[in-house]
Each structure stands twice: as C-alpha cells, then as structure tokens.
Structure 1
Amino acid sequence: MAMTGFSSIDRCAQRMYICLTLSLVLVVAAVGRGDECPTSCYCAEGKADTASCAGSAPEEAPPFSTLPTSILHLEVRSFYLPRLTREGFRGLGNLTELKIEHCGIQSVRDTTFDDLSRLVRLDLSHNNITDLPETIFSQLKSLRSIDLSFNNLTNIDLMFLGLKSLEQLNLKENQIGRLTQDSFHGLENLQYLNLDRNSISFMEASTFMELPSVAHLILSRNPLPGIKSLQQFGTKLQYVDLSDLGLMEVPENMAPSSLRDFRLSGNNLTKISKKDFKSYPALSLLVLDDNHIQSIEENAFAYLSSLTKFWLNGNQLRKIPVGLPVSLKVLYIEENWLQEIPANAFSGLSQLEQLFLQRNRIEDLRFCSFCDLWRLKNLDLQGNYIQFLTDGAFKNLSQLETLDMSQNPLKEIAEHTFLPLGNLKVIQLSGIGDDVYFTASVFHPLKSLEILELFNSPKLTADFLASTSALAELGKTVRELNIMHNELRDLRRDLSDFFVRLETFKIGGNPWDCQSVNMSRLLHWIKEREGIFYRTNSIRCASPTALAQKPLSSFQDGDLNELIRARSATEAATPSGTSETQSQPETESPRIPAEQQISCIIAILQEVARAYGCSIWYRVDT
C-alpha cells in the first residue's frame, strides 16, 4: 500500500510538473512574441506601439508575425516584398497605421487586410502595383487615409466600396486612364483627392457626384483640355489644381463658390477677361503661371475682393495689369516681357507687401514707379536691364526691408536714390556691371542695413571698399557682408575697424596676393575672429605661384611677414621703371648685393617648404 500510495503521489507530481512547465513555456513564448523586435526593425524604447523596419533591396523583409502584438504603427521600406498576403500580418490586429513603401510590391491578395479592421491609415506608395482586387479594402471600415501614389494602377472602379470613413485618397503618379461613376462610389466623406500626373483623358459627367464632401481636388498634369465647368466637382471645393491640362479658357462656375485656392498654371490661356473669374469671389490665392497670357482686360479681377496672393510668372505680359485687387499682399510677375514700370503703375495696391519682378526686360524705373506701395517690404528686380537708378525711383517705400537689384547692367546710382529706404535691412547688388558710378554718400541713408550682397560686382565692390565714408556709415549696422568673386587681391588694413557688428564675412573666390603688405592684417583678423568668416578654406592664395591654392588660414602669423619682406627686398633691389625680366642693352644692370639675393631666395624657399610640409637645411659659405 505504501508503495502504491507513493506511486500515485509521484504520478500526480509529474503531471503537475508537466502542467507548470507547459504554462511557463506558453508564458515565455507570449512574452517573447510581445516584446521582441526583429534585427532589421527599430522599436523605440518607451514607445512600444511603433516599429520601423528599413532594408536594402534585394534583402527580404522580416516576418511581420515576429513583431510585438502591441504595435499600432508599422513602417516598412526598401525591402524586397513582391506580394502581400493575410498570413504576413498574423497577430497584428491592433495596427492603426501601416506604411510599406519602396518594396517592389506587385500583387496584393484580396484577403490581405481582413484581420486589420482597426487600420486608420494605409500607405502603399512607391511600389509596382498594377491592379488591386475590388474587395481589397472591404473590411477596413475605420480607414480614413489611403496613399497609393507612385504605382502603376490603371483602373480603380469599385475599389473603394464601403469606405464611408475615408477622408484622404492619394492616387498621384499612376496610369489611370479614365474615371467613371464607379471610380469613387460610396466615398461620401472624402475630402482630399489627388489624381496628379496620371493619364486621365476621359471623365463621366457623374464621376464626382459620388464625392459630395471633396474640398481639396488635384487633377493636374492629365490630358483633360475639355473641362468647361467646376460645377461637376461639387460645391464644397476650397482648393482646385487644374494645372497642365491643356485648357484654352478658364472653366466657368455656374454659381458663386467657396473656392479659396485656384491653380491653373501650365495651360494654354492667352487672355483674361472680366467674366473669367466673376463666379470666384472667395479666392484668396490664384496661380496663372506659365500660360501664354498676353493681355488682361482692365479690372478683370475686380470681383476678387479677397485675393491676397497672385502668381502671373512665365507669361507674355508687356505691362502691369490695370485694376488689380486692392486686397493683394503678394504679387509675382516674373519672367514676362515688361519693359518699364510707369509712374503709379500699382495704383491702389496699398496692402501689397511683396513684389517680384525678376527676369523681365525692364529698362526704366520712373519717378514714383512704386509710390502707392507704401507697405511694401520685399522688392525683387534682379535680372532685368536697368541701367540707371534715379532719385525718386523708390519714393514712398519707407517700409521696404529687402531690395534685390542683382544682375542688372547698372551704370549710375543717383545720390538720393536710397533716401526713402531708411528701414532697408537687406540689399543685393550682385552681378552688377563694371562701369557703375555712384557717390560715397549714396549709402548714407541706409541706417538699418544689416546684409550687403556684392557678389561678383568687381567695380562696385572696389569703389565701395575704397570709400572711407561709405564704410563708416554701413559699418555701424551691417552684420553680413558678401564680397566673394570680385577679383580682389588684398583688403585695406583698417577694414575690420569699420565693421564692428559683423557676424558673417564672405570673401572666398578672390585671387589673394599673399605677399601683399595688407594680407598680414587679414590673416590676423581670421585668426582672431575665425567664426565670422564664411568657409575659411575657400580663402586661398593666388600668388606667389609657389603658394597657389594654399588656404590663408593655414599660415602662421610670422609666415606672411617673411613673404612680404622677401618681396620688399626684391622690389628695393629692382630699379624703378623696370621689370625683373626686362633686358637693359648697352647698360650694365645694377648689381644686387649677394646678401640680399641670398636672403630673398632663402625666405621664398622656406615658405615653399612650409607649404608642402617639408623643412630645408642650408649653409652659406663666405
């Protein structure tokens, strides 16, 4: 009996041991399944709901089933993952955001997302998907955003059935050729739709009847020249991009709309009339860039009382349109055919703050050209043909903060040109012609100037640096000075004394003469305040030839002094009015004392050796 009882107890203990062991294994497995992160993934510490997996094709993606079950956000990119299946997402039912891009996906099974019912955002962009099953998203009732951009989809009919919660749909850069009533069936809450750069050439009239809530519509870069009205796109539109469709005229709007942002760039519009924008009273931004607009009827935009930003770049306008909306704050008329800015050309635009007129053909600024723009802060006139800046050209621009006159063939800046610009903070005078004339006092009114750009303006820069009074005035306020690429060989020794507030000094790209007597002072300035010099490695010697391209900052304080003494010795030994290479027939050349010759040669050899990290040893025998 004793033995039997013992055996019963032993068997019972064994069973308990086995049960406990299995339980422990299950617990460990569960903990491991929930805590481990594959080696090619990153699971942020303290953020157990996010995993990011990045690879390098043709590396295969890790099995997603090994990811922690707590993951809510999963990002996968740059793996080789040609197909997606339901099994690949086992155990990830808590996902709310899934992003798989640049993985070469070609096919997706119709049941792939059936276990991801909590998914809110899905991004499969930048893959090779050509087709998706009609029922692919049928179980994703919570989905609010889908991104399928940069794929090869050709047909989307009935693909989004049942997605009543969907708000954003991005189909940019696919190969969709036609849209029908079934393309967006059931998307009653969709607000954002991007169809940019597809091949859409046909749309059924009822296509957008299924989208009563769309506010943001992008149809740009599709061959759709026949759009005549926006009425088919619904009444809640606030942003519409119809750029590069080949439109010959502005689409009508049958009833006044709430549209705020209208983009029509890259079409074939040639003229604008009063009726074109009559039914768009709420517009605040209008883009008409890169059309072929040659004429705009006077007061053509009179109905746009809320327009604040207007783009007219890249057209063929020869004059400033008359009757622009008085509400404008930003106006772009770049790269047109404007030849002059008459007096009061911007009449009524007292709210304008930014005006861009670069790369036109403007030759003349008249007295009071900008008189009505007394709130203007930014004026860009670069790349025109302006030769003369006369007194009164900038009259009333007391609030101007930035002026760009770069790349104009200026010949003269009148003495009082800048008189109204007491609040100017930035002036750009780069790429100015070689024969510009100005008096030193022309810069005196610029009491608030902080940035002065003189890049590649050799004559203007040389005259400015030679003017003690100009330096004395601007040096009080300028924080940034750019004199790069101006053929400068040295700088005046007292330049640092003027610019007491300088924080950035750009002087690279000049052929510095490292034997000039002024260069030791520049080197001292660089050593003393290296932080203000822009790219010190670009400040290099051009002469003497043996030191060409050596950075000035690599010299020690005494190095330049030796070079300067060597040059001085050579010049002292060279007769005035002659050069070292000139021969003097029939006249005996003055003999340079041997000591001076030796001293000069040794100084040059020492510097050359130092430049190449060498040392020389010499002995002078007498």
Structure 2
Amino acid sequence: MTACVSAVSAACREDVYTVKIKEVKRGISASVSAAELHTRERTLQQRVNQRYGQGINRQWLGKSTPNHQCNKDVKMPVHGLTHILLCLLPMWRILTPVSSHPQHSRCHLIQRTALCNNAKLTSVPAGLPDNTEELQLNYNHIQTLQGSSLSYPSLITLSLACNNVERLESNTFQDSKLLESLNLANNNLHIGYQETSHALKTLPRLRVLDFSENELDDEMAATLLQNLTSLEYLNLSGNLLRRLDETSFQDLHQLKELDLQRNLIFEIDVAFDRNPQLQRLNLAFNYLPCLIDFHMTQMVVLNASHNFIEWFIATQDLNDTFQLETLDLSDNKLLFFPFLPDQSRLRNLYLSHNSIRFYEHLAGNNTDLNSTTTVEFYNIKKYKSNVTAELWNENLHGDISSLEILDLRGNQVEYFPQGFIQKMPVLSRLQMCTNCLKTLNLTSEQLSSSLYELDVSNNRLEQFVADEGTMTALGNLTYLNLSLNDLRQLPSGLFSSLPSVRSVDLSYNEIDICLPEKAENSIDNMSPCVDWKNIESLKQLYLKGCNLEIIPSCAFTGLSLTHLDLSDNPGLIVRESIGSLSRTLQHLGLGNTQIQDFDFSPFQSLKSVNISRNSLAHLPSSLLKLDLNVLDLRDNKLPTIPSGHANALAQKLHTVFLTGNPFNCCQTEWFRTFEATKTINVVGQSDIECQDLFQTIHRVENSQSFLCWEDGGESIFWRVLENDYYCPMKADALTAT
C-alpha cells in the first residue's frame, strides 16, 4: 500500500506538505515546554523523596522504642549518645538502602497482581511477592527503570503508563525474561530511546507493546522496534511519525495489530510489506493524501479515517481473495467511490463526510480533446507508479457482494449507477443522510431483502417510488428515515407492506395524514397522505414540521406507539386523536404546536414531554400526575413555577429545559428547589434569565439586584452579596429617589 501524489489532484501535490512541517515544528515546541515541565517535576520529586525518607526513618526509630510512655521518663546522658550512635551505625548502613525503596504497602495485592497506580512512587516497589505476574505502576513519577529494580521472575504484564519514564536501562529485564505485555504509554521515551531499545531486545516473549504519546519520530521508533520479532500488538499512536518505509517495521514478522493514529504521517511507502500477519491497522487522524496499490490481502480491518485521502485504489490484478472486512475512509477528501479489490469479503464500508459522487453520466460524453479520462499516480519521491485508473469506469467499484453496512452520509451523491445497489444482496444498513438524491426508485434499484435500516434524510428527494412487490420484499426493513426532503407523496400502502417497520421519520416533508374517506384514493400508486392504522410493529413515529393542521381521530387506531413527535406543526389539533395511545406512549413531542390546555393525565406511561415554544403562561397541572424523567419547557411565557409544582417535579425529573422564559426575579423559589435537588440536570442552568420590576434582565443563577413588591404595598430591594445579607428599603424612599 502506497501513499501517493496524484498527477491531477492539487490536494496531493508536494507543496501541501509545508503544512505538515509546521506541525512538526509545533511538536518540537511542545517538547521544549515538556522539558521545562519535567524539570519542575524532578524538583518536586526530590522534595517528596526527602520527606518520604524522613518518614521511613521516623517509623523505624518508633519501632525501636515501642513503649513511648516509658521513654518519656528516661533521662539519656549526653556523654552516652555518641556511643549508642556508633553501635547503631552498622545497622543504619544496612537499613538505609531498604528505606530508599518505596514499600509495597502502597500497592494493593490481588492474587498475583500488584496494583500500585497513583501511589506517588519514584521507583519500582521492592518486596512484592516473587510470584507476581502483573504489576501496574500507572500514574506515578518514575523516570528510569534501573536494572536492579525489577526483580520479579514470574512477571508477565508490566504497565507504566502516565509516568515520567525517560529510559529503561539495558539490564532492566535481566530478572524478568517472561514479560509478554509492556505498557509505556504517555511517557518521555524520546529522551532515552537508544538505551531503552537495548533493554527491549532482552525480551524474547514480548507480544504486546504500547509506545503511544511518547514524542517519538520515525528514527526513534525504528530504533526501538529493532529485533522485536515476537511482537504481535503495537501502539504508536499520538507520536511524531511522518514517513514510514520498508525499514520501519521490518523485524516485526508476527505483528497482527498496529495503531498509528494521531501522528503526522503523510507517506507509507511499502511500509507494511514485511508484516505478513498484519490484520488490523489504524491510520486515523494523519495527513495521508492517497492510498493506492492496496495489496495487503491478509488485512481484516483498516481505519484510515480523518486524513486527506482523495483516492483509494486496490490492486486489481491479484487472484487472491482479500480478507478485508471493515474499511473506514470517513472524513477524508474522496472524490470517487473507492476502487475496491475484485475479490473480497468486505462487510462494513464507512465513507461518510467525503465528496463522493458517481460519474456514470460522463462516460462517453468526453468531447474535450484536451481532457483525460485516466489518472496516473506518483509517490512522494516523484517516481511514477504503474497504477492508473479510468475515471468513469464504474466497474472499479470492485467486489461489494458481501457488504452489510454502507455509510455514505455527508457526500454529494445524486444517483446510484445502474445495477450498483443490486451488487449488494446482503446489505442491511444503507445510510445516505445529507446527499443530493432527487429520486429513489426502490423497484429499479432492487434493494436487498436483508435491508434493516434505510436513511435517506436531508436529501432533495421529490420522488420515492416502489411497487407492491418491492415493498413486500422489504420484509426486514425496521428503520426508515425520509425526513428533511421535498416529498409530497408516497407509494400507497407503503407502511402496511412493511411488516417489521418499527421507526418511521417523515419530518419536514409535505405529507399529510389520510382521512378515512381518502385512505384508498391514489394516483399511479402514489398518495399525498399516509395511513398506518393497525401496524402493530410500529413504535416510533416522527412527524415534525409536516404542516399538519388536524389529525383524524382514528389516525393511530391499532398502534402501540412509544414515541410520537408532532412538534413544529403550529395550530395542530390533537386532543382526541392520540387518546388511543394513552397506555403505551412514553415520549411525546408537542413543541411549537400552540397547545394551551392539554390534559396529560390519561398518559400515565409518559417519561418524556416536549411542550417548548408554545407561549404557555402556566405549567399544565396535569403534568404533575405523571412520573416524568424529561420535561422541555423552553421558550414559553412562564413567569414562575409554583413552589408546590416545583417540589413535585423535583422528586421525579432527571432532566429539565427552562431557558427562554420571562421568569419573574421575585418568584424564583422553584430554581432554588431544583438547584438543591442533586438528581436533576437543569440544562443550560447558567443561561436561565429573569426580569425585575425595572425590566432589567438578570441570570437567575446569580440572584442579583431584584426589586420586589410585598402584599402590603411595601417594596423590598434585594441584593444578594457574597456574605448573603440583604437591605430592606421602604417604598416611599424609592419613590423619593
């Protein structure tokens, strides 16, 4: 697999890499700052060591004199002190090295595992059981692993993540030859990487190695990985790698999984050709411009998301079947659907947030003599590659017969090439949100009978066509999202033909609900309204912003909906129409419907209610009878929430939305109630505002300068300061001012 420069792609030219050099310089600056930080931490560690050593000495002296009460009465002659100290000196010399090591009392022992995390250790603890197999030293202050400090012959797993480790002495593992897993993530190995590499070479059984977040560049990483022939899992994420070549991982013949995400990589010229066992590769969040000549037939999972890739082209002349199952190219700069292997087992293809289009309509229409229909590729060293591609050749889609998930969200797809969907007979999820589709003909596309989810929301759909046979074949379709389109009609009987449909979203289309007398009326098998009576499988229905004015009383007959959203239908009359759902409905959206007096009491199963943007001047009392978890009251005209209501809601609610209401600053006891209830999340709490008598806006949370009137005509000017006192002021005094 090669990272390349396209002869026709401006984004893949060499001048782009000036940006990468700047990134590297930023990394150098970061390392300087880190060095300053290390100096401060060393000073702190020395102070800790001094205090720790003194503590050990006191503890030892205390043990030598167990009866402290008796010691108070002992009068020690001054002339005898020197003699006693001279007698203790040999013992002191023996005990001093012991006291300099952190005691394993800071570790928690569980069978053969020692947990010494976050214990402020500056070295490996001594005195642990000899049969210790796992030692965790994460979040400590260890800088160097000394050869004499790791004397546990049964040790298999060692974790030193998030320390200040700069180097491992060459004989560090002389007594731990069985070590298989070593975690050195988030340290400073870039400082002593050469000596550390000698230590690693003494581990013949090392299988798992984590070098993430160590500021390692290409040369450092290559040095550290020399002769690690037993390694199977390697993490180099979050470093400063830029260019990888055939020498980078040349000794890792057993490598199965490699994580290179969040580096500065812009070239990977045949870097993995000497890793025949490599099955999982993560290249996400780098600077790769292209991936061509992909010939790693053994690869199972490849994540190259969040790069700058404009081309993905697999080698086309291989007879071997690619083992690739998951390919993630999301958040790149792809212009074309990837040119996949001719034979593969690809199941999951993630292509969201690119610039993919299909160009079948341009084939044979090339009238410009100066234009070309082929593209050639060069690697970063300006050597021409023998990989070429015909731009409009849709056969290069490759083998997609095993595809189960196709994610094309956020692209520029206007249509599917003829026969494209038919090539995916086992497709279960087709995600096409935010594209440019104008027509979707399910009959001609022949969607898979295995289709479970179809999301074509936020397109430009004006036509959604399907005959009766096609709809019947979609017996497995469970989630259908047609929201945010320009649909005005749908196939007659669409939903009654989908026996497994559970969730339907028709929001923001011009689709009406059929009246009983119009349910059977249609033109050319298309109907301007929908009917879903007696569809037992349907549980979630979203009809936001469909310009609905009235819902027939029988619209939801025979349904057992748990979710119904009718928001953004101003003037909608619901009342009796949703009464049949009172037993099952759990989530109800009535935001921006201009409701005023709606009785919620019959809906005892409700857990979430949205009545935002309805100009409500008071809280519907019927809500208090429900066992709600979520309540959305945003953008209404609530001046307050009565204390009784607030107390009742506080005992039930988990989340409440209240911003955008003209609350009265003198009636904010409800806020204190919610604030004192630790189980409630008041979303946007700091943005909730109120008005005082002068129409001055305050944040309820801050409780500042409120002018309030008492029942007897007397006014009180409240000012809550840091010391929580207030000063009363008479009404006549205020009038005089």
Tell whether the structures are fold-level matches, with TM greater than 0.5.
yes
Match of 2:461 in 1: 338
Match of 1:399 in 2: 537
Quote the Cα distance in structure 1 between the aligned partners of 2:166 and 2:94.
Answer: 38
Match of 2:586 in 1: 451
TM-score normalized with structure 2 length: 0.61
- Partner of 1:157, secondary structure, is coil
Change (3 A) 1:502 1:537: closer
Change (3 A) 1:76 1:416: farther
Quote the Cα distance in structure 2 between the aligned partners of 1:226 and 1:617.
Answer: 76
Post-superposition offset of 1:490: 0.9
Match of 1:308 in 2: 428
- The answer (yes or no) to whether the contact 1:313–1:335 under 8 Å persists in 2 is yes
TM-score normalized with structure 1 length: 0.71
Quote the Cα distance in structure 2 between the aligned partners of 1:363 and 1:485.
Answer: 26
In structure 2, the gaps of 5 or more residues are 1-89, 107-115, 361-392, 520-529, 676-708, 732-737
Match of 2:563 in 1: 426
Match of 2:411 in 1: 291
- Partner of 1:111, secondary structure, is helix
Quote the Cα distance in structure 1 between the aligned partners of 2:674 and 2:286.
Answer: 56
Post-superposition offset of 1:169: 0.9
Indicate which of 172, 187, 195 corresponds to 1:103: 187
- The answer (yes or no) to whether the contact 1:112–1:136 under 8 Å persists in 2 is no
Quote the Cα distance in structure 2 between the aligned partners of 1:552 and 1:203.
Answer: 58
Post-superposition offset of 1:289: 2.8
* 1:253 corresponds to 2:341: yes
Equivalent residue pairs, number: 532
| CA offsets 1:184-212 (integer angstroms, 9 cap, x no match) | 2432222112233444457785x74xx55
- Partner of 2:485, secondary structure, is coil
**Quick one: which amino acid aligns to residue 215 of structure 1?**
V
Post-superposition offset of 1:253: 3.4
Quote the Cα distance in structure 2 between the aligned partners of 1:267 and 1:280.
Answer: 20
- Partner of 2:576, secondary structure, is helix
Indicate which of 577, 592, 596 corresponds to 1:442: 577
Match of 1:14 in 2: none
Quote the Cα distance in structure 2 between the aligned partners of 1:365 and 1:113.
Answer: 66
Post-superposition offset of 1:168: 0.2
What's the RMSD between the two structures over aligned residues? 4.6
Indicate which of 604, 618, 622 corresponds to 1:490: 618
- The answer (yes or no) to whether the contact 1:171–1:194 under 8 Å persists in 2 is yes
Indicate which of 209, 212, 234 corresponds to 1:146: 234
Post-superposition offset of 1:171: 1.9
Quote the Cα distance in structure 1 between the aligned partners of 2:657 and 2:251.
Answer: 63
Quote the Cα distance in structure 2 between the aligned partners of 1:507 and 1:285.
Answer: 38
Post-superposition offset of 1:33: 8.2
Match of 1:566 in 2: none
Quote the Cα distance in structure 1 between the aligned partners of 2:406 and 2:328.
Answer: 10
Quote the Cα distance in structure 2 between the aligned partners of 1:197 and 1:609.
Answer: 52
* 1:159 corresponds to 2:248: yes
Indicate which of 261, 266, 288 corresponds to 1:172: 261
Match of 1:412 in 2: 549
Change (3 A) 1:540 1:332: closer
Change (3 A) 1:491 1:176: closer
Alignment of 1:1-400 (within 5 A): 39-41=119-121, 49-54=134-139, 61-65=142-146, 69-70=151-152, 72-78=156-162, 86=170, 93-103=177-187, 105-106=189-190, 108-109=193-194, 110-132=197-219, 134=222, 136-153=224-241, 154-181=243-270, 183-200=271-288, 205=293, 208=295, 211-220=296-305, 221-223=307-309, 225=311, 227=313, 229=315, 235-243=322-330, 244=332, 246-255=334-343, 257-265=344-352, 266-270=354-358, 279-297=399-417, 299-322=419-442, 323-341=446-464, 347=471, 348-364=473-489, 367-382=492-507, 384-386=508-510, 388-391=512-515, 393-395=530-532, 397-400=535-538
- The answer (yes or no) to whether the contact 1:425–1:448 under 8 Å persists in 2 is no
User: Larger Rg: 1 or 2?
Assistant: 1
- The answer (yes or no) to whether the contact 1:390–1:417 under 8 Å persists in 2 is no
Indicate which of 577, 585, 602 corresponds to 2:712: 602
Alignment of 1:518-533 (within 5 A): 520=642, 523-528=643-648, 530-533=650-653
Post-superposition offset of 1:280: 2.5
Quote the Cα distance in structure 2 between the aligned partners of 1:259 and 1:328.
Answer: 17
Quote the Cα distance in structure 2 between the aligned partners of 1:184 and 1:314.
Answer: 36
* 1:479 corresponds to 2:607: yes
Higher alpha-carbon deviation: 33-42 or 344-353: 33-42
Post-superposition offset of 1:332: 1.9
Quote the Cα distance in structure 2 between the aligned partners of 1:379 and 1:437.
Answer: 20
**Quick one: which amino acid aligns to residue 51 of structure 1?**
Q
Post-superposition offset of 1:72: 4.3
- Partner of 1:310, secondary structure, is strand
| CA offsets 1:377-406 (integer angstroms, 9 cap, x no match) | 122334x24363334514264311122233
Higher alpha-carbon deviation: 163-172 or 228-237: 228-237
**Quick one: which amino acid aligns to residue 224 of structure 2?**
I
Quote the Cα distance in structure 2 between the aligned partners of 1:288 and 1:127.
Answer: 35
**Quick one: which amino acid aligns to residue 358 of structure 2?**
T
Change (3 A) 1:231 1:426: farther
Post-superposition offset of 1:112: 4.4
Change (3 A) 1:441 1:245: same
Quote the Cα distance in structure 2 between the aligned partners of 1:204 and 1:487.
Answer: 59
- The answer (yes or no) to whether the contact 1:422–1:448 under 8 Å persists in 2 is no
Change (3 A) 1:165 1:158: same
- The answer (yes or no) to whether the contact 1:282–1:305 under 8 Å persists in 2 is yes
Quote the Cα distance in structure 1 between the aligned partners of 2:718 and 2:103.
Answer: 68
Alignment of 1:537-576 (within 5 A): 542=662, 544=664, 546-547=666-667, 551=671, 553=673
Change (3 A) 1:62 1:90: farther
- Partner of 1:551, secondary structure, is helix
**Quick one: which amino acid aligns to residue 587 of structure 2?**
L
Match of 1:561 in 2: none
Match of 1:512 in 2: 638
- The answer (yes or no) to whether the contact 1:150–1:172 under 8 Å persists in 2 is yes
- The answer (yes or no) to whether the contact 2:302–2:328 under 8 Å persists in 1 is yes
Quote the Cα distance in structure 2 between the aligned partners of 1:212 and 1:543.
Answer: 65
Change (3 A) 1:82 1:316: farther
**Quick one: which amino acid aligns to residue 157 of structure 1?**
E
Quote the Cα distance in structure 2 between the aligned partners of 1:61 and 1:27.
Answer: 18
Change (3 A) 1:115 1:524: same
- The answer (yes or no) to whether the contact 2:402–2:425 under 8 Å persists in 1 is yes
Higher alpha-carbon deviation: 94-103 or 60-69: 60-69
**Quick one: which amino acid aligns to residue 445 of structure 1?**
S
| CA offsets 1:422-475 (integer angstroms, 9 cap, x no match) | 121012234x143x332422112324433334364251x32xxx244xx354x2
Quote the Cα distance in structure 2 between the aligned partners of 1:288 and 1:306.
Answer: 17
Change (3 A) 1:158 1:487: same
Quote the Cα distance in structure 1 between the aligned partners of 2:337 and 2:160.
Answer: 45
Quote the Cα distance in structure 2 between the aligned partners of 1:270 and 1:549.
Answer: 60
Post-superposition offset of 1:238: 1.6
Post-superposition offset of 1:84: 6.3
Post-superposition offset of 1:352: 0.7
Quote the Cα distance in structure 1 between the aligned partners of 2:229 and 2:93.
Answer: 37
- The answer (yes or no) to whether the contact 1:73–1:97 under 8 Å persists in 2 is yes
Quote the Cα distance in structure 2 between the aligned partners of 1:374 and 1:274.
Answer: 35
